[in-house]
Structure 1
Amino acid sequence: MTPSSQRAIAFDAAIGEARNQLASRKPLAAMSLLQRAHVLGQRDFCSHLSVHLLMLRAAWALRDGRELRGQLLRLVLTPIGHMSGRLPIGNIGTSDVSAFEPMALSHDLATLLDDRKP
């Protein structure tokens, strides 16, 4: 993802607002933004990993044991997914969905993920 691409700009905006929500002690609002960031950053290892680390932080703030375990598992699976090339497009990255299940994209996310556009 090039830093000036629309996808990168949207990813940075979602991550920035999620961090603000976490700082404001609004982890549920942060998680929603992190789901969007996950879809946008999933193809880039560092971005993908950083989203799961922030999701882990949000899960901790929510005191959600299931989500904590899910994020720990995803932190282990992220490098494997990148090495194997098996990343389910559109997956929102939270523990309430399978880590292996592709998901439908909203129109705006599909447009942002189309790397052929500037």
Structure 2
Amino acid sequence: MQLARAAYFKADWQTAFYYLENAHVLGQPSTRRHTLSHWWMLKVAIKRRDVREWLGQTVRILASLLFSRLWVPVGNTGGANVSAIKPMPIRPELNQYLE
């Protein structure tokens, strides 16, 4: 999240979103962290004026609040460009944190 926020405040939306995807994967087991990653993804979507992402993140924020403790699709990066229920391969740079 720290790297994502730094990129966000530099208006580097692409890098910020990449780090937010990583934060999403790592934060999924925690309702607070999971929801926070979606909140920041929404903020990036607003800055980018990306309506699809904006709508997708709004739905995902609600879903993260309701379902984080029940089930999450492991490895899912959390963006509106992927199915919210699709498990995905974990990025190699994140493996060390999940082992």
Q: TM-score range by the shorter chain?
A: over 0.9
- Selected match of 2:76 from 91, 94, 108: 91
Contact in 1 for aligned 2:27/2:33 (Cα 8 Å):
yes
Residue 5 of structure 2 corresponds to 19
| 1:93 counterpart SS class | coil
Q: Give the drift of 1:92.
A: 0.1
Q: Count matched residues.
A: 99
Q: Aligned-pair RMSD on alpha carbons?
A: 1.1
Range with greater deviation from structure 2 (74-83 or 95-104): 74-83
**Stretches of structure 1 lacking an aligned partner (at least 5 in a row):** 1-14
State TM-score, norm by structure 1.
0.79
- Selected match of 1:44 from 16, 24, 30: 30
Q: Percent identity?
A: 33
Higher-Rg structure is 1
Q: Give the drift of 1:51.
A: 0.6
**Stretches of structure 2 lacking an aligned partner (at least 5 in a row):** none
The question of 1:104 aligning with 2:89 is answered yes
Q: Give the drift of 1:105.
A: 1.2
State TM-score, norm by structure 2.
0.93
